[in-house]
A and B are shown apart, each in its own frame.
Chain A
């Protein structure tokens, strides 16, 4: 109202409402000042009214610790490995694309070629969430939709070493996987094990259905489970929620 050099828009509005210098002389300038004062007061009243009316609206505050907000599907939270929602086997095929594409080099995959099935077999999968910058490149390159960004973001911890998640901590349960497959609208994995396991290893193909329910992700053979009991988690282990980490699955 008392600017010497008001910006153009304000000047335009003001001239539109109070007019601009049409009255001259001593009385005219007083009259102009009076009109401007009235205009300023009406603007202040408008502002007060707006603010007062806002007090009738609901607060937009999200009560975060009590109410966890519902994240959008592509929210880039904690990284995790999905399992087949039906069979519960790990979907990782150890192609190492995520490891290669990671700009921070925070993914470390340990795998070896199984002598029996002649396929890569996942031994361990480590992600250092302290290094990760949540760019989501690994989830884009993953051919089997195995590595995903979950909606969980509550990852505060007491030490850097506890931010390095291993396979056991990373693997989601069947229910969580089903939730994310549905939420992110990812195509469900094909029922591969039944077909793939049968021609590859004829001897052990006798029990693919039985193995699917309770065996390790890739090695469908009972011998493989016996050889590496600690590196390849069983269905019971993976079904557990990842060590005392709250997840936002339903």
Chain B
């Protein structure tokens, strides 16, 4: 049955290698800018050293994002091509570098060296602005998520907003302007068609997307992404995908049962679920609702970033390549970069909002590291090895490190799922797309919103 071990092995090695390169680069860049240079400056102690330190620390999030985005887009293109090759029983790119691991780097070099053409009759200013407007939101929209995915690391705390998720959603809805600008400025009817379709689609699917996120915010009681991520810590039962905190009481009760803590089982249960059977009903409703919301979020996100099966703006078989038909060289590269970055960002939002951010999926009473009997000897064992890195150079912050690892696993898992969907489903027809968005998704999300707001009343959250 499993006759493809070799290809999977290659795929795994390639992914792990690239991930090490990406996050190693980001890690080192952040450390150099945020910690190492300030450390050196504070030792030098000249006139401007204090203000330089502040500047260095302030630009760290930007450095992180700017280093991350291009390398990550290269990796994701390669990941997508290799994974699609796996699903369609092909080999995928295997020429450049070891097993094709440098294919997208070569592609990037090719795209950057290509001639940049502005077609006759095109609106040159709009044509040039379009990729910028398309790409910029994926940079400034991603920044508030940095604090949430690094377990509120002190360097990234300045990027956190009290209304973080609101800002992120606002930023992710800007690229549609870039798409229609590019389509209109190209002086090409297919491009214009692609741009118009994109607007229709994005406007339709933003509503269920935002409604599903709003419902989660309603459950969490906050718009702050760091708080939302923190509330979900403690295992899969606390995550928003399973009731948005409705199962927290159960989680705590089981935990107390296992560790024989001071608070008894029944007391915790009655503290979290005061209404008896009504609360049980509320828990069931909330669990079902949030699972459906997660599905709706994924559908809406797919449509929002124009991925298959919602790739009507691009639709190779109908519109050549949609809004980016006329683009070449570096502008096309930016469109490409932004598309994959947007995919990554929506997957990160899903991770933070639904999948617990940087939280280990094991409930804390199953996780061996949460028991001091196991954790303390392990810490003692590892302390001499990493003490220089952790305490002297501040190169590794353990809390951030593990959170980042879990976020990486979850986010790329979702990316892989998006690729699987791309390999499976055919494209929607435009009228089906509209009917599905307006007649199905929006009513469902509204119903769930109402249900959740009632069900929320019969359960105590986050006591």
| Contact in complex: B4, A56 (CB < 8 Å) | yes
CA distance A63 to B92 in the complex (A): 12
CA distance A60 to B92 in the complex (A): 11
The yes or no answer to B360 lying at the interface (CB within 8 A) is no
* Interface-located stretch among A44-52, A90-98, A176-184, A230-238: A44-52
| Contact in complex: B2, A56 (CB < 8 Å) | yes
A-chain residues with CB within 8 Å of residue B421 when the two chains form the complex: 48
When the two chains form the complex, which single residue of B3, B90, B440 contacts A56, counting CB atoms closer than 8 Å? B3
Q: Contact flags (1/0) for B393-427 with A, using CB distance below 8 Å?
A: 00000000000000000000000000011011100
CA distance A2 to B89 in the complex (A): 31
| Contact in complex: A58, B87 (CB < 8 Å) | no
| Contact in complex: B4, A55 (CB < 8 Å) | yes
A-chain residues with CB within 8 Å of residue B90 when the two chains form the complex: 59-61
Contact A61:B87 (CB < 8 A) given known A3-B432, A44-B425, A56-B1? no
When the two chains form the complex, which single residue of A3, A50, A55, A60 contacts B86, counting CB atoms closer than 8 Å? A55
The yes or no answer to A54 lying at the interface (CB within 8 A) is yes
Q: How far is the CB of A218 from chain B (nearest CB, A)?
A: 50
Contact A58:B86 (CB < 8 A) given known A44-B425, A48-B424, A51-B420? no
The yes or no answer to B328 lying at the interface (CB within 8 A) is no
CA distance A59 to B5 in the complex (A): 11
Q: How far is the CB of A66 from chain B (nearest CB, A)?
A: 11
The yes or no answer to B85 lying at the interface (CB within 8 A) is yes
A-chain residues with CB within 8 Å of residue B2 when the two chains form the complex: 56
Q: How far is the CB of B86 from chain A (nearest CB, A)?
A: 4
B-chain residues with CB within 8 Å of residue A55 when the two chains form the complex: 4, 8, 83, 86-87, 89
The yes or no answer to B371 lying at the interface (CB within 8 A) is no
Q: How far is the CB of A135 from chain B (nearest CB, A)?
A: 33
* A34-81 residues at the B interface, CB under 8 angstroms: 37, 44, 47-48, 50-52, 54-61, 63
| Contact in complex: A59, B4 (CB < 8 Å) | yes
A-chain residues with CB within 8 Å of residue B3 when the two chains form the complex: 56-58
B-chain residues with CB within 8 Å of residue A47 when the two chains form the complex: 424-425
| Contact in complex: B424, A57 (CB < 8 Å) | no
A-chain residues with CB within 8 Å of residue B423 when the two chains form the complex: 51
| Contact in complex: A54, B88 (CB < 8 Å) | yes
When the two chains form the complex, which single residue of B4, B420, B435 contacts A57, counting CB atoms closer than 8 Å? B4
A-chain residues with CB within 8 Å of residue B173 when the two chains form the complex: none
Q: How far is the CB of B30 from chain A (nearest CB, A)?
A: 35
A-chain residues with CB within 8 Å of residue B4 when the two chains form the complex: 55-59
CA distance A213 to B435 in the complex (A): 83
The yes or no answer to B454 lying at the interface (CB within 8 A) is no
* B343-361 residues at the A interface, CB under 8 angstroms: none
* B1-33 residues at the A interface, CB under 8 angstroms: 1-4, 7-8
B-chain residues with CB within 8 Å of residue A60 when the two chains form the complex: 89-90
The yes or no answer to B386 lying at the interface (CB within 8 A) is no
The yes or no answer to B270 lying at the interface (CB within 8 A) is no
| Contact in complex: A48, B1 (CB < 8 Å) | no
CA distance A54 to B420 in the complex (A): 11
CA distance A2 to B437 in the complex (A): 11
The yes or no answer to B91 lying at the interface (CB within 8 A) is yes
What are 14 pairs between A and B in contact, CB < 8 Å?
A2-B435, A2-B436, A3-B432, A44-B425, A48-B421, A51-B424, A55-B8, A58-B4, A59-B85, A59-B91, A60-B90, A61-B89, A61-B91, A63-B91
Identify the 4 closest CB pairs spanning chains A and B, nearest first: A55-B86, A51-B424, A61-B91, A47-B424
